[in-house]
A and B are shown apart, each in its own frame.
Chain A
Amino acid sequence: MDEQIKAMQAEIEAAAASITDSKEMYLLRKQYLDNKTGKISALMKNMRDLPPEERPAFGKVVNVLKDWALNFFTEQDARLKAAELAQKNAAEQIDVTMPASKHFCGALHPQTLIANELIDIFAGMGFTIFEGPEIENDYYNFTALNTPKDHPARDMQDTFYVSEEFLLRTQTSAGQIRVMENAQPPIKILSPGKVFRSDDDATHSPMFSQMEGLVVDKGITLCDLQGMLDVFAQNIFGENVKTRLRPSYFPFTEPSVEVDVSCFACGGKGCRLCKDTGWIEVLGAGMVNRHVLENCGLDPDVYTGFAFGMGIERIAMLKYGIPNIKMLFESDVRVLEQFRG
């Protein structure tokens, strides 16, 4: 009996020695261990032919063989699979520096990027967004903004007219009136949009975009204007940026101010960007003129407000270092792709 076992062990070891493939090894395993057809299983079945007193001893011996075989084949399988995996991995070496099969990544226009930044800043302060028409009537663009016909301030902006009454809006301030006519304070709006001026040279584009802000409520002061603009400037240009107000004139605000930010390139020491002044002009602002409030049916003795307006492209050019406004309207993909993300 023992010899028979030993012979079968030797037979298995000999057969396994020439096998290099885990699938073949599996077939060999089946030859011996398959429940129905396996040679070791057959030995168990033979047990029935033995006299009952021999059966326990026989059974024990066969079980030892079976355990040995199970163990043997598990080891063989692990060995072969490890080798096969190593071989497969070795065959599948790639050059990871080759180009990826990537998906395209698009980009928003700098005008949208800046507008979004501004909207996010001011939305957090309670501003909603209003968009007026690009073709405005003279009343909203000028007259209601305290700039009647032939007011010298109209010379500040060269206007495109499309009829006696209608023009391409020269300023998003036109939206102020449309909002104030239809709303009661508290009013906090932000009005982005395209504006048009008959100016076309190296530094001017006949179309650009502005962002107008308007706050009307009780007790609004010039200090509030500067406080809000500080938040804007620090968010857009950096934490350490300061604002400076200086007197100016717009027909629809009184007092009117130009707002400069301390130069974020040099920290105010003076450089090429700020033309050695330490300051960069970024927007115009002021307290809403009483006449404008009156034109919109609001009582200027009850309500005060401030308004500000900035050129979105100008902010984009300053922030991103774009040298020429014309680049923003030419759609050169080498320009546009720089704003991915």
Chain B
Amino acid sequence: MLVPLSWLKEYVDINVTPQELQTKLFDCGFEVETLTQLGGEIDGVVVGEVTKCEPIPETHLHVCQVNCGDKGEFQICCGADNVRTGGRYPVALVNATVYATAKDHVTIEGTMKIKKGKLKGFESHGMLCSGTEIGLNEDLFPGAGYNGLLELPADTPLGADIKPITGLDDWMYDISITANRPDCQSMLGIAREVAATLGQPLKMPATDYKTDGSKLDGFTVSVEAQDLCPRYQAHYVKNIKIGEAPAWMRRRLALVGIRSISNIVDITNYVLKEIGQPMHAFDLRDLEGKQIVVRRAKQDEPIVTLDEKEFKLNPANLVICDGKKPVALAGIMGGLNSEIKEDTADVLFEAAKFARDNVRRTARALGQHSDSSSRFEKGVDEYATELGMKRALHLIEELGCGTVTDAAFAVTTGNSLERRKLTVSIAKVMSLLGIEIPQADVLRIMQNLDFNPVIDGDSLSIEIPPYREDIENAPDIAEELIRMYGYDHIQPTFLAQASVTSGGRNPQQNALMKLKNTLCGQGLYETVHYSFFSPKDLDMLRIAEDAKERKAIRILNPISEDLSIMRTMLAPSMVNAMIRNVRRGNDAGRLFEVAKLFLPEELPLTKEPEERESLCIGLFDSKLSFFDGKAVLEAVADAFRLEFTYKKPEDAAKYPFLHPGMSAVVSLDGKEIGWLGMLAHDLTDSLIPEHAAFLAELDLTALRPYLTKELRFAALPKFPVVQRDIALLVNTDVTCGELEAVMKSACKSLDRVQLFDVYRGEQIAAGKQSLAFSLFFRGDDHAFTDEEVDQFVAKILKNLGKQFEIAQR
């Protein structure tokens, strides 16, 4: 919120510098985002009088002699049409900084430094300025709107700095106001805080006015939707003389970004900014049926707002109606049908409290926002409603633009505007803070904040100002005290009274870290990708329309379609990471991600979806084998002393993105826990040309129980191992895994099998391969003899022979 220092000074004497005030505000909870001097970019501009002014022939220019008092007398060439002898103007001296304008002399294009120049042979030592060139407009300073020189009053002291004269020395605070302090969304609100923190009295704006005794006979105001409008006040003002608002009011509105329209409209805007109460003024002659009704809109009821936009409303919207039609969209904008016009003579002023959530919903639903709606959305208190109306009526009188009548209407729900009383235990307040604030300071702070404190022993009784709807209990008082007393009084303690607890990760969390560390040990980098992706990412991997991965939770308000559904698999994000890397010239990478999959039981979502943890591994390189990737999975198995088994997928169509010959499903304990494989050639060629990629995804939720198995020591074997090597000639479609499984089941004394050679080629028949295994036998109760081992091998070969077409080499 923009707060001009000059305006603030109307309510409180400020005895500190603008920068000190910034710190004070910061310390008590009001962060000043920027503090700038209004004319901060202007420098070296003084008041000068043109003492001689002669036209330069055949140009629009004049050559002037300018008297700048103690700054000297300068010859300046000027092209403005209103330059004249005896005129006093802002003079930018050589080296001064002013705003540069476009050819239209209105649009500001940065700043410029004034240099000595020569025009048509005449030297020019400076520049006579327009209002625009020193950052002023008509509202900020009368006369500054003229597209020519800014003419200053004849008594303006020569040589004086232009800034104090035109108000450019004012300071602007842009203050961020937290959501719990809607009462500070106004000049008066901030002034109350400034007065409290400086310990200065608050000077309330005048709210007195005289009435002429007249009434509006037969006119009624009623509120049908009191839940959305707990207070509605209206007041009739007659003999309206529409005109310009005074310069001081226009300047203040201009400082906070509001353009002056007319005295009546300006008064409503002024009260909004000063008191924080949005106001509205109806042209009374446009109100039909002698009544105001505040009600929910009917279905499809139309309204055209002041900005000439038409809306079709519904019962979720609140409207202000006369006897026949809506005349305002409550809290958002008045209707075009009852706006203030140049010949308006009778006005009905409105000040109301509308429920913030309803204003917020309606403004959002209609896309119609205004200063008023944004104020209501933050929350207006009923005290401000009453104060705002009084202030507006006072201003009518002060500006002499109307006669206040006795026709006043107020419909309320009976909410009191009296102060609420609260008594809290001082000990309780201090026990939350952990320090003792001296009683004198408690009293001072509470008094400065206008809480009317009384201390009796341990109890602090206060009367809460009606605008402080946020105050309800001891912690609120604790906060008020400490923010004014100063957070620097807090003395850090280390859980002085708390119980000792044992902390740390649980076994599951430890196991996950071990898993990540294992993967790092395999040279993988951990990645983090967004939890949402695009249906296009599933298309990229050719996931079938009816695949379970397509049953994804959709975000109702996504940033874009690219980030619109919750992930049902991690692989697409991993492939996208590879694509990004390859495009950036990173030729190789070993990556993994641990993240959640979001698996709804049904869509649309009726209950919490399952969040299933998944591990995705992605390797890419210019050359890469399936077994480079499988090694990573085996390292995981080793790290947790698990045995993974691999087989080709029964249904290759389930993995349309993998190489059909180089893909597998991985199982643990007979349960399928994931898949692995090389990215299909055609996908590789189109997505990461001249590279190869390995992908795997494991269901961590299924793996979890196996990751926390307890360590047990096994006694070392007593008897030596006996090794035999065999080479088997089998068909190429027989797998190593199948052979190993048969061998193991054939002989329980077979401790370990290790494939050590594979041969396919000229020396053996086509369609055959030679697989050479080392077999390791070990006895539990005795050392095996050669004869025993021969028998084991014979049994193994026999069993292999039963299942496979096999020959020994």
Q: Chain A residues in contact with chain B, CB under 8 A?
A: 103-109, 111-112, 116, 119, 122-129, 133-135, 137, 149-153, 155-156, 160-163, 165-166, 168, 185-186, 188, 194, 196, 198, 200, 206-207, 209, 215, 217-224, 226-231, 243-249, 251, 254-257, 287, 289-290, 304, 328-334, 336-337, 339
Partner of B586, one of A123, A198, A226, A333: A333
Q: Which chain B positions have C-beta within 8 A of A287?
A: 432, 475, 478
Q: Is the CB of B432 within 8 A of A333?
A: no
Partner of B492, one of A163, A230, A330: A230
Residue of B356, B379, B559, B604 with most chain A CB atoms under a 10 A cut-off: B559
Q: In the bound complex, how far is the Cα of B555 from the Cα of A76, in angstroms?
A: 88
Residue of A106, A246, A254 with most chain B CB atoms under a 10 A cut-off: A106
Please list the 8 inter-chain residue pairs (A to B) with the smallest Cβ-Cβ separation, ordered nearest first.
Answer: A104-B523, A221-B434, A150-B357, A223-B434, A247-B29, A106-B520, A219-B497, A249-B178
Partner of A162, one of B431, B502, B530, B605: B605
- In the complex with contacts A207-B531, A290-B473, A333-B525, A125-B557 CB distance below 8 A: no
B105 close to chain A: CB less than 8 A: no
Cβ distance A321 to chain B, nearest Cβ, rounded Å: 19
- In the complex with contacts A150-B357, A224-B494, A227-B492, A332-B580 CB distance below 8 A: yes
Q: Is the CB of B379 within 8 A of A152?
A: yes
Known: A106-B525, A152-B356. 4 other contacts (CB 8 A): A126-B502, A128-B504, A206-B532, A243-B492
Q: Which chain B positions have C-beta within 8 A of A222?
A: 432-435, 478, 482, 490
Nearest B residue to A245, CB-CB = B487
Cβ distance A179 to chain B, nearest Cβ, rounded Å: 13
Q: Is the CB of B530 within 8 A of A207?
A: yes
Q: Is the CB of B557 within 8 A of A198?
A: yes
Q: In the bound complex, how far is the Cα of B431 from the Cα of A221, in angstroms?
A: 6
Q: Is the CB of A255 within 8 A of B501?
A: no
Partner of A257, one of B434, B487, B491: B487
Partner of B555, one of A137, A162, A339: A162
Cβ distance B488 to chain A, nearest Cβ, rounded Å: 8
B596 close to chain A: CB less than 8 A: yes
Q: Which chain B positions have C-beta within 8 A of A223?
A: 433-435, 490-493, 496
Partner of A104, one of B431, B479, B506, B590: B590
Q: In the bound complex, how far is the Cα of B589 from the Cα of A129, in angstroms?
A: 32
Q: Which chain A positions have C-beta within 8 A of B475?
A: 254-255, 287, 289-290
B611 close to chain A: CB less than 8 A: yes
B40 close to chain A: CB less than 8 A: no
- In the complex with contacts A125-B503, A186-B499, A255-B483, A304-B27 CB distance below 8 A: no
The number of inter-chain residue pairs (CB within 8 angstroms) is: 268
Q: Is the CB of A162 within 8 A of B566?
A: yes
- In the complex with contacts A224-B496, A255-B483, A246-B513 CB distance below 8 A: no
B581 close to chain A: CB less than 8 A: yes
B601 close to chain A: CB less than 8 A: no
Q: In the bound complex, how far is the Cα of B532 from the Cα of A330, in angstroms?
A: 14
Q: Is the CB of B490 within 8 A of A249?
A: no
The proximity string for B residues 173-187 relative to A, scoring 1 for CB distances below 8 Å and 0 otherwise, is 000001111100000
The proximity string for B residues 515-534 relative to A, scoring 1 for CB distances below 8 Å and 0 otherwise, is 01101111111111111100
- In the complex with contacts A221-B432, A222-B434, A249-B181, A331-B559 CB distance below 8 A: no
B623 close to chain A: CB less than 8 A: no
- Can you list 5 A-B contacts with CB-CB less than 8 angstroms, sorted by A residue number? A105-B523, A156-B179, A163-B556, A222-B435, A334-B584
Q: Which chain B positions have C-beta within 8 A of A185?
A: 499
Partner of A127, one of B478, B503, B520: B503
B608 close to chain A: CB less than 8 A: yes
B553 close to chain A: CB less than 8 A: yes
Q: Is the CB of B498 within 8 A of A186?
A: yes
Nearest B residue to A105, CB-CB = B523
Q: Is the CB of A107 within 8 A of B498?
A: no
- In the complex with contacts A223-B491, A287-B432, A112-B526 CB distance below 8 A: yes
Q: In the bound complex, how far is the Cα of B606 from the Cα of A228, in angstroms?
A: 41
Q: Is the CB of B499 within 8 A of A123?
A: no
Q: Which chain B positions have C-beta within 8 A of A123?
A: 503-505
B361 close to chain A: CB less than 8 A: yes
Considering only residues 594-615 of chain B, those with a C-beta below 8 Å from chain A are: 596, 598, 604-606, 608-609, 611
Q: Is the CB of B589 within 8 A of A333?
A: yes
- In the complex with contacts A223-B433, A332-B580, A248-B526 CB distance below 8 A: no
Q: In the bound complex, how far is the Cα of B431 from the Cα of A333, in angstroms?
A: 51
B558 close to chain A: CB less than 8 A: yes
B28 close to chain A: CB less than 8 A: yes
Nearest A residue to B554, CB-CB = A162
Partner of A135, one of B28, B357, B522, B608: B608
Q: In the bound complex, how far is the Cα of B526 from the Cα of A105, in angstroms?
A: 12
B509 close to chain A: CB less than 8 A: yes
B563 close to chain A: CB less than 8 A: yes
Cβ distance A217 to chain B, nearest Cβ, rounded Å: 4
B500 close to chain A: CB less than 8 A: yes
The proximity string for B residues 12-50 relative to A, scoring 1 for CB distances below 8 Å and 0 otherwise, is 000000000000001111010000000000000000000
Q: Is the CB of B497 within 8 A of A109?
A: no
Q: Which chain A positions have C-beta within 8 A of B223?
A: none
Q: Is the CB of B496 within 8 A of A219?
A: yes
B591 close to chain A: CB less than 8 A: yes
Q: In the bound complex, how far is the Cα of B505 from the Cα of A116, in angstroms?
A: 10
B476 close to chain A: CB less than 8 A: yes
Q: In the bound complex, how far is the Cα of B608 from the Cα of A166, in angstroms?
A: 8
Q: Which chain B positions have C-beta within 8 A of A304?
A: 431-432
